[in-house]
């Protein structure tokens, strides 16, 4: 592991979606023993840390983001002892561990909610948002709020009151005004820090607090449940817990269009880092991309926080697919919309984007399969979908969650000895780890080489970034005194800077020219 105290500032962090990484017991669902067996892949890739999506006991109404117990492991994934062994083995391989905490809500099978729903007089009732309905007999929901997955946000309890859930009815929202809720989660942080976890990723970090008056969402008025000012007191408490330990990090999932509001979460006494969704959703356009980078760096530099660069995750369309469409921005509404995809173009751009993201100042996140050049599986039969978004918003995130291909020429490509929980495209036979290892033209070897160079280049850790003059449609910048990245986002080849040594290119170079949708790392 990196020996510096602030490892999260420039780490390469690999997201594992445990259902889809590797299956050791043959039931078709990925598990902890499968991850342990494949740690060598992550060691060879060169990542600094693993971010583990939720692995806790859960009815899986939302793929594990409906947690019934934050201090144990779901039997489908293994045991707590197995998780502790994974943490230890990852550390031995030089890899830190980040776990996912979901503080906005719990599962409807959580002991707190089961007690609350069973008795209106239970103390646990106050840990949630139970309210009487409107109208005669309380038949109408307390508000008309719309959920994060679409649909309504209230479900009626047997006693006639309603409870709030910004996601599915199986995910009741917690009342973060209650001191018992705050104390419980601070104890959960200590539970995992005591087991050697190096960081906490915080799901839906801006949603915890609600306006107790329950006003409707109104344009121009403060939002009743998104980014309330009091939320920062919660994270100051969490920061105090993290600071009880050595080199622990808090990393927020903060969907926030206003930069000023976003950076408040990154003040010195709050979170250490937060995901950069502005970059993830940016179109493949040189002006927009440069503006996004400038905006991100300016906001983070102003408060001394590290920037983060994310191309894909378990919630969004894989960027090979996005970059192969005419509309290269991300939105939930353009997933599975039938728009034609040029996978050759998308792959070429994804290779260039890898060199871009890995050479910008800050930390880079790699979603599992990104290093293999996987695209979105848009051919999953609807009857196989397991994502609750499919039923509530008419589209599914499952195409980005398909099990990884490891070996062989036929599905399940070494992922399992059974039937994988989601089908894999037959075309992935050329995208397996086995097929790409040793092939210098493969996406996997590009990522390995880039991460290896990133570690070796001093300018990529401490050097400042400065833009270079470049032709229209080209992004060019230096890091430190001797490193430069040039990305050609125009539609034509452009000359490479003279008298420079090529360290790594995302694709073949045309003599002294850089082809379209290609990036190169240079020694100045």
Catalytic residues: 203, 244
Residue 147 DSSP symbol: P
The DSSP result for 209-253, as a single string, is ---TT-PPP-TTS--SSSS-TTHHHHHHHHHHHHTTSSS-EEEE-
Q: Which residue has the tokens 């409906």?
A: 66
Angle between helices 179-194 and 231-242 (to 10 degrees): 30
Output the CA–CA distances (angstroms, integers) from residue 19 to 121, 156, 317, 379, 406, in the order listed: 38, 32, 18, 19, 15
Closest listed residue to residue 336, CA positions, set 347, 346, 325:
325
Helices marked H in 93-195 — which ranges?
A: 111-118, 179-194
- Which bin fits 394, alpha (ψ -120 to 50), beta or left (φ > 0)? left
Q: CA-CA distance, 66 to 473, in Å (whole number)?
A: 44
Which residues have a Cβ under 8 Å from the Cβ of 521 and sit 6 or more positions away? 355, 359, 450, 453, 483, 484, 485, 502, 503, 504, 505
Q: Which residues contact 62 (CB under 8 A, 6 or more apart)?
A: 167, 168, 170, 171, 388
Cα of first residue to Cα of last residue in the chain, in angstroms, is 29
Rounded Cα distance, 476 and 289, in Å: 12
CA distances from 142 to 49, 153, 170, 369 (A): 43, 9, 18, 43
Q: Are 10 and 363 in contact (CB under 8 A)?
A: yes
**Cα separation, 408 vs 412, whole angstroms:** 8
Distance CA 48, CA 218 (A): 44
Q: CA of 521: how far to CAs of 94, 293, 483, 501, 504, in Å?
A: 26, 18, 7, 9, 5
Measured CA to CA, the distance from residue 233 to residue 267 in angstroms comes to: 12
- Sign for the pseudo-dihedral over CA of 458, 461, 462, 464: positive
Q: 513: which residues sit within 8 A by CB, 6+ positions away?
A: 493, 494, 495, 496
Q: Which tokens is 62 given?
A: 């939302």
Which of these, 346, 379, 369, lies nearest to 431 by C-alpha position? 369
Compute the distance between CA of residue 458 and CA of residue 456 in angstroms, rounded to an integer: 6
């Amino acid at each position: 592991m990196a020996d510096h105290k602030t490892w999260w500032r420039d780490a390469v962090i690999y997201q594992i979606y445990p259902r889809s990484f590797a299956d050791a017991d043959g039931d078709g669902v990925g598990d902890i023993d499968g991850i342990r067996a494949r740690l060598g892949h992550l060691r060879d890739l060169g990542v600094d840390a693993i971010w583990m999506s939720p692995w806790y006991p859960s009815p899986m109404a939302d793929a594990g983001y409906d947690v019934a117990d934050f201090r144990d492991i779901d039997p489908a994934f293994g045991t707590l002892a197995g998780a502790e062994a994974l943490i230890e083995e990852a550390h031995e391989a030089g890899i830190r561990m980040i776990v996912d905490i979901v503080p906005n809500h719990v599962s409807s099978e959580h002991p707190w909610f089961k007690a609350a729903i069973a008795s209106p007089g239970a103390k646990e009732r106050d840990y949630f948002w139970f309210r009487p309905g409107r109208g005669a007999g309380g038949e109408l929901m307390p508000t008309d709020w719309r959920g994060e997955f679409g649909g309504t946000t209230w479900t009626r309890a047997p006693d006639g009151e309603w409870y709030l859930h910004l996601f599915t009815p199986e995910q009741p929202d917690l009342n973060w005004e209650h001191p018992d809720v705050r104390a419980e989660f601070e104890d959960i942080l200590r539970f995992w820090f005591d087991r050697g976890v190096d960081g906490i990723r915080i799901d839906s970090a801006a949603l915890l607090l609600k306006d107790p008056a329950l006003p409707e969402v109104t344009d121009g008025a403060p939002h009743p449940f998104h980014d309330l000012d009091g939320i920062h007191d919660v994270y100051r408490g969490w920061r105090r817990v993290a600071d009880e330990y050595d080199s622990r990090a808090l990393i927020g999932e903060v969907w926030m269009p206003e930069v000023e509001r976003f950076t408040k979460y990154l003040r010195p006494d709050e979170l250490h880092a937060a995901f950069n969704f502005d970059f993830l959703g940016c179109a493949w356009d040189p002006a927009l991309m440069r503006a996004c980078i400038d905006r991100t760096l300016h906001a983070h530099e102003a408060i001394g926080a590290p920037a983060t660069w994310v191309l894909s995750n378990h919630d969004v369309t894989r960027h090979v697919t996005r970059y192969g469409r005419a509309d290269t921005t991300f939105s939930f509404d353009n997933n599975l919309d039938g728009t034609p995809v040029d996978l050759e173009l998308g792959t070429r751009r994804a290779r260039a984007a890898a060199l871009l993201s890995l050479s910008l100042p800050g930390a880079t996140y790699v979603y599992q399969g990104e290093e293999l050049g996987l695209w979105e599986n848009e051919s999953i039969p609807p009857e196989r979908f397991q994502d609750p978004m499919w039923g509530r918003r008419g589209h599914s995130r499952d195409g980005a969650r398909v099990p990884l291909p490891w070996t062989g020429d036929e599905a399940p490509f070494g992922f399992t000895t059974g039937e994988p929980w989601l089908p894999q495209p037959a075309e992935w036979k050329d995208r397996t780890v086995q097929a790409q290892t040793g092939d210098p033209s493969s996406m996997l070897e590009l990522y390995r080489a880039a991460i290896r160079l990133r570690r070796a280049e001093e300018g990529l850790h401490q050097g400042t970034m400065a833009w270079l003059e470049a032709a229209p449609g080209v992004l060019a910048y230096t890091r430190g005194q001797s490193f430069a990245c040039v990305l050609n986002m125009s539609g034509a080849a452009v000359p490479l800077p003279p008298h420079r040594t090529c360290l790594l290119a995302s694709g073949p170079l045309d003599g002294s020219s850089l082809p379209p949708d290609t990036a190169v790392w240079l020694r100045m």
